[in-house]
Structure 1
Amino acid sequence: MIQTIPAKFKETAEKFAKRPALKFKYHGAYISISFTELQNRVETMAKGLQELGIQKGDKVAILSENRTEWVRTDLAALSLGAISVPIHTTLSPNIIKHILNNSSTRLLLVSNQEQFNKIKLIINDLPDLQIIIYINLDHPEENNTGDKKLMSLEEVMELGKGSKKEISAEVSPDDVASIVYTSGTTAVPKGVMLTHHNFLFDAEAAVTVVPVDEHDVLLSFLPLSHVLERTAGYYAPLVCRGCCIAYAESPKTLLQNLKEVKPTILVSIPRIFEKIHTGIWDKVKDGSKLKHYLFIWALKQESGTFKQQIANRLVFHKIRAKLGGRFRLTISGGATLNHKLARFFDRIGIKIIEGYGLTETAPVVAVNRPDNIKFGTVGQQLPGVEIKIASDKEILVKGPNVMKGYYKSEELTQEVIDSEGWFHTGDLGHLTEDGFLVIVGRKKEMISLSNGKIVWPEQMEIILNNDKFIIESMVYGNNRSYVVAFLIPDWQEVNRNLESLGISSREPDQLVKEPKLIELFQQRIEEINKQFADWEKIRKFILLPKEFSPQKDEVTPTLKLRRSVIERRFQKEIEKMYR
């Protein structure tokens, strides 16, 4: 039977009443909230929002890092037939203003002073916003919100406890549950309307082919405001299967929280796996010669052999223990994963299941199965989802997970969903003979050189970022005669080599201009260029001192490059490389 998200959650909460639903860190220790407690808090908050006049169709925005209150607010709003509008905490005030105004948000939940300060900067430019609810503010009485009502979440809960009204909203599976604004790598974020059915179909289909149950524990650190975490790290495991979700304090504390929570599942993005991979190799290099030899020996052992069992016990078991030691599987999405990285983790006993999806498809379209993984692909389509490759290699998708449309933009909707219901993803790829999907690149990010040759920047950047000295890169060359790149060094790795290079400075701002370091990177690029076709070879590059930042809108919250923003910001440097 097709259900709404709150109805499905209530069913799951009753089934697993006493089991832990959510965990959060409080005064140095993780504390659990049971399904019954969470359901009670959701109902109380829904009544509180109802007392404030929130009703079916109203927009309730959430500007908060991952925490139990995020889930509570989302489920409470959906219970009333309201529409939740998640906002990434890394977004600039200007983009937040666009989202709040475009969505006509009436009520906003804000987590802390840092996020509230962004709202203060735009408070007079938000005509539809009426109520701001905060979780923690330094001095609430000192925050002037003009004609907007400011109140604490505790006050909303008190309103709910005192309410005599029952929740009477009639919510349908085909009602819009959320307007999720796309990361916008090429333009201003668009509001994607996803229904209750979009989300629950996708969540159920995902856990059918990647089975999870109430005994699984997830550590959540990707932003819930991103649809990957929303579906794969919240609706699918918690709402549909009764898993326990623990929240990391922040991405920076991920390794520490992994040891504390000991999750069985982690939903992640390639960048995190890259950092863990680098960390493992750093430990190996800093260890004794014997440890280094033993690690290399262990990696070479064939799966299923007696020697591999010894390697697992002596080497890999210890590595997994530092990541909690209980991983049953990990999930990678949001960007393309280097297949060499997937093989490396598979060797050390950590299964990475790569999938593919978009905000507009709620998001999962295809995923590798735990017992049928094909490295270098994003797996096979979900049951109930259709994939078709157009004549120009664009990936087309049809199914109950495809969005209702773009909010307030029928014209844009018609551009991407054709008359037969196929959603045009903008991604290019192909299907293998056995139905595994291979992603080539983004249609809009394809580089056309002035000689007519085509370059796929994302594939090149994966290879560049795999070099031990490069942590991030961006390839450029549209309508130019050759390809250039911005390279951000891995300063930890660089610092290890400064002495042997005869460089005394350790400041990145100075090091990017250091001739000896530039020469080292020139050698690395010459070696990397051997993997590229002649027209793809990087002719010139510039070193940058810092990674691209979400705060500067240079990358999306899931760290995808906003190429047009970076190109504008570094226009002078680009022109310099073409002189």
Structure 2
Amino acid sequence: MLISLQSLSKLHQQKPNKVLFKEFSKETTVKDFAKRVEAYRLKHHDTKKNIGLFGNNDINFAAADCGLSFTENNLVPIPRFFKDELIKKIISDAQIDYIYTDEENFSRIKNLFHNTVNYLQPAQTSFIPVQSGIHRRIIYTSGTTGTPKGVIQTEQQINFIIKNLTETLSVSEADRYLSILPISTLLEQIASIHCVIFNGAQTIFNPDFSKDIFIKPQNIFSHIHNYKPSMTCLTPLLLENFINQLDKNLDLKFLKAITIGGSKTSKEILIAADRLNLPVYEGYGLSETCSVVSLNCKNTKRFGSVGKPLPGIEVNIENDEVVVSSPSIMEGYCNSKPHVGKIYTGDIGSVDSDGFLYIHGRKDDVIALNNGRNVDPNWLESMISEKIKTNAYSFLNQKGQHCMVLAVNDKALGKQLRNKLKSILPDYAYPEKIYFRNPKEIPKEFFLNINGKIDRKKIAEIFLNQQ
């Protein structure tokens, strides 16, 4: 059983009137939440199906998640930011039998899958916290390749991460977590639902804000300052927006931890956060390792690293690649053989003498140049950001030419930037073509995928016909 569900049972007995979730002005107590959870446990306790959840960050999703986690049904959270064709592939790949959703998303999903139903109403019977089998959930990792993989995680791996995050971040019942990142991601499920329940803390939901967080510009600083959470989780891009919007005259002492993940955070942003005394802790993980491998924290932090591996997790570097051994490693991929042994992450990294992990890029990001040299674009982009203070994006065009896009408000400064590039880049890594973009006309977000990572394929398509 998930340890969060064990905690829910204790809370139901000892603190039934404690407010566990807030959504807009509505408060949901442990007792009320347990009734919502019981509706799903009662309906599905004797079935073994693959059940999808498609919805916003809200109490309905949390209740369905917990209720189905009491059963032997496989839970499949479906990312609402995926395109319809990709969602169809997930439904087929996971062999989904039901999908629960809300009124807002019902028509969209019903058009894709006939057996779509609305979230259940709270049960009228008593809460009976009985586990009917081993809980599993299938997490779909990425929507950028057209072939998302379903990662199978069980209660064993999830419990390991819940305990580790609780200890590493000193989570307590006094904490208030603000849910911002998509709840279809495993990390947000663990953080906003299971860590909170396990510690008897509280989660704040605002589905109107979080549902389009990567699509529509939002004032994230005002959002955080308004709700005054002690903890939240952001991507590097959202942290950058938060810092740019920050009002230095307002008190932020309520913040205990802003954890950062999803992609590498630039030194420039980390320096800005440090100068503002923000409790920013960068971490690293992947769905195959139940979302978290390493994390900086208040007492164990090193600038530029992604922290030390969590207790019980071993990280080694083999041929520059980060390799992980851990109790949190997935059971396997959906429709594939069970996974055995360590995980080769595909990330290029290093570990210093004190055990801090550093991520330098992706093995599959490495660009093979026409001159026969291989170069990591992440290295080039970080160097340019640090020394020239501008955003740069490297990619190969259809002719195999090394191209680079630079952010510049005035194209007249282009020649000056070209000269600066020549002074800092090795000759072999200097781009064959350079494009300029005005950040006001084409914002940084335009070049990123939904996970906040640079989408080089998309960039190549954008500049395909430009000279």
TM-score by length of 2: 0.87
Structure 1 residues 331 and 164: alpha-carbon distance in aligned structure 2, compared to 1, 3 A threshold: closer
Q: Which residue of 1 aligns with 2:161?
A: 202
SS of the residue 1:189 aligns to: coil
Q: Name the larger-Rg structure.
A: 1
TM superposition shift of 1:20: 2.0
Q: Which residue of 1 aligns with 2:34?
A: 39
| Counterpart-to-counterpart distance in 2, 1:164 and 1:203 | 27
Q: Which residue of 2 aligns with 1:326?
A: 254
- Kindly indicate whether the alpha-carbon contact (under 8 Å) linking 2:394 and 2:456 is maintained by their aligned counterparts in 1: no
One-letter amino acid of the structure 2 residue matched with residue 402 of structure 1: I
Does residue 247 of the first structure (1) align with residue 175 of the second (2)? no
One-letter amino acid of the structure 1 residue matched with residue 450 of structure 2: P
Does residue 434 of the first structure (1) align with residue 354 of the second (2)? yes
- Kindly indicate whether the alpha-carbon contact (under 8 Å) linking 1:5 and 1:78 is maintained by their aligned counterparts in 2: no
- Return the match for 2:184 from 225, 250, 257: 225
Q: Which residue of 2 aligns with 1:345?
A: 273
Structure 1 residues 350 and 4: alpha-carbon distance in aligned structure 2, compared to 1, 3 A threshold: closer
Question: Equivalent residues in 2 for 1:70-469 (5 A)?
Answer: 70-113=61-104, 115-123=105-113, 130=115, 132-134=116-118, 153=119, 156-157=120-121, 160-161=123-124, 170-172=132-134, 175-176=135-136, 178-236=137-195, 238-248=196-206, 249-250=208-209, 251=213, 252=218, 254-280=220-246, 316=248, 318-319=249-250, 321=251, 325-390=253-318, 392-410=319-337, 421-462=341-382
- Kindly indicate whether the alpha-carbon contact (under 8 Å) linking 1:354 and 1:379 is maintained by their aligned counterparts in 2: yes
One-letter amino acid of the structure 1 residue matched with residue 41 of structure 2: A
| Counterpart-to-counterpart distance in 2, 1:100 and 1:275 | 34
| Counterpart-to-counterpart distance in 2, 1:164 and 1:37 | 11
Alignment coverage as a number of residue pairs: 456
Query: What root-mean-square deviation, in Å, do the aligned CA atoms of Structure 1 and Structure 2 show?
Result: 3.1
Structure 1 residues 233 and 157: alpha-carbon distance in aligned structure 2, compared to 1, 3 A threshold: closer
SS of the residue 2:96 aligns to: coil
| Counterpart-to-counterpart distance in 2, 1:244 and 1:83 | 26
One-letter amino acid of the structure 1 residue matched with residue 179 of structure 2: S
- Kindly indicate whether the alpha-carbon contact (under 8 Å) linking 2:37 and 2:63 is maintained by their aligned counterparts in 1: yes
Q: Which residue of 1 aligns with 2:426?
A: 533
Structure 1 residues 478 and 262: alpha-carbon distance in aligned structure 2, compared to 1, 3 A threshold: same
SS of the residue 2:283 aligns to: strand
Question: Equivalent residues in 2 for 1:58-69 (5 A)?
Answer: 58-69=49-60
TM superposition shift of 1:402: 0.4
| Larger helix share, 1 or 2 | 1
One-letter amino acid of the structure 2 residue matched with residue 122 of structure 1: L
One-letter amino acid of the structure 1 residue matched with residue 193 of structure 2: Y
TM superposition shift of 1:345: 1.4
- Kindly indicate whether the alpha-carbon contact (under 8 Å) linking 2:20 and 2:197 is maintained by their aligned counterparts in 1: no
| Counterpart-to-counterpart distance in 2, 1:459 and 1:429 | 12
| Counterpart-to-counterpart distance in 2, 1:165 and 1:229 | 25
TM superposition shift of 1:453: 2.2
Q: Which residue of 2 aligns with 1:506?
A: none
SS of the residue 1:255 aligns to: helix
| Counterpart-to-counterpart distance in 1, 2:12 and 2:414 | 55
| Counterpart-to-counterpart distance in 2, 1:22 and 1:486 | 44
Deviations 1:316-372 (A, max 9, x none): 5x24x3xx5411121111111123322321221212111110011111101112112
TM superposition shift of 1:469: 8.9
TM-score by length of 1: 0.71
Question: Equivalent residues in 2 for 1:487-498 (5 A)?
Answer: 487=406, 494=409
One-letter amino acid of the structure 1 residue matched with residue 314 of structure 2: E
Deviations 1:154-174 (A, max 9, x none): xx326x43x7997865223xx
Structure 1 residues 17 and 437: alpha-carbon distance in aligned structure 2, compared to 1, 3 A threshold: same
Structure 1 residues 452 and 89: alpha-carbon distance in aligned structure 2, compared to 1, 3 A threshold: same
- Kindly indicate whether the alpha-carbon contact (under 8 Å) linking 2:71 and 2:131 is maintained by their aligned counterparts in 1: yes
- Kindly indicate whether the alpha-carbon contact (under 8 Å) linking 1:92 and 1:118 is maintained by their aligned counterparts in 2: no
| Counterpart-to-counterpart distance in 1, 2:351 and 2:303 | 14
Deviations 1:191-250 (A, max 9, x none): 0001011111012112212211110111111011112222234322x1321221112331
| Counterpart-to-counterpart distance in 1, 2:99 and 2:388 | 43
Structure 1 residues 468 and 38: alpha-carbon distance in aligned structure 2, compared to 1, 3 A threshold: farther
SS of the residue 1:157 aligns to: coil
- Return the match for 1:572 from 438, 457, 464: 464
| Counterpart-to-counterpart distance in 2, 1:55 and 1:530 | 68
- Kindly indicate whether the alpha-carbon contact (under 8 Å) linking 1:449 and 1:479 is maintained by their aligned counterparts in 2: no
Deviations 1:44-93 (A, max 9, x none): 3432x33xxx7443122122121111101111111222222112221110
| Counterpart-to-counterpart distance in 2, 1:548 and 1:55 | 49
Structure 1 residues 346 and 485: alpha-carbon distance in aligned structure 2, compared to 1, 3 A threshold: same
Structure 1 residues 199 and 119: alpha-carbon distance in aligned structure 2, compared to 1, 3 A threshold: same
| Counterpart-to-counterpart distance in 2, 1:13 and 1:466 | 52
Unpaired segments of 5 or more residues in structure 2? none
TM superposition shift of 1:474: 3.2
| Counterpart-to-counterpart distance in 2, 1:524 and 1:279 | 27
Structure 1 residues 117 and 376: alpha-carbon distance in aligned structure 2, compared to 1, 3 A threshold: same
| Counterpart-to-counterpart distance in 1, 2:219 and 2:288 | 31
| Counterpart-to-counterpart distance in 2, 1:4 and 1:119 | 32
- Kindly indicate whether the alpha-carbon contact (under 8 Å) linking 1:427 and 1:440 is maintained by their aligned counterparts in 2: yes
SS of the residue 1:572 aligns to: coil
Structure 1 residues 424 and 57: alpha-carbon distance in aligned structure 2, compared to 1, 3 A threshold: farther
Structure 1 residues 422 and 344: alpha-carbon distance in aligned structure 2, compared to 1, 3 A threshold: same
| Counterpart-to-counterpart distance in 1, 2:129 and 2:191 | 28
Does residue 560 of the first structure (1) align with residue 446 of the second (2)? no
| Counterpart-to-counterpart distance in 2, 1:358 and 1:164 | 38
Does residue 518 of the first structure (1) align with residue 411 of the second (2)? yes
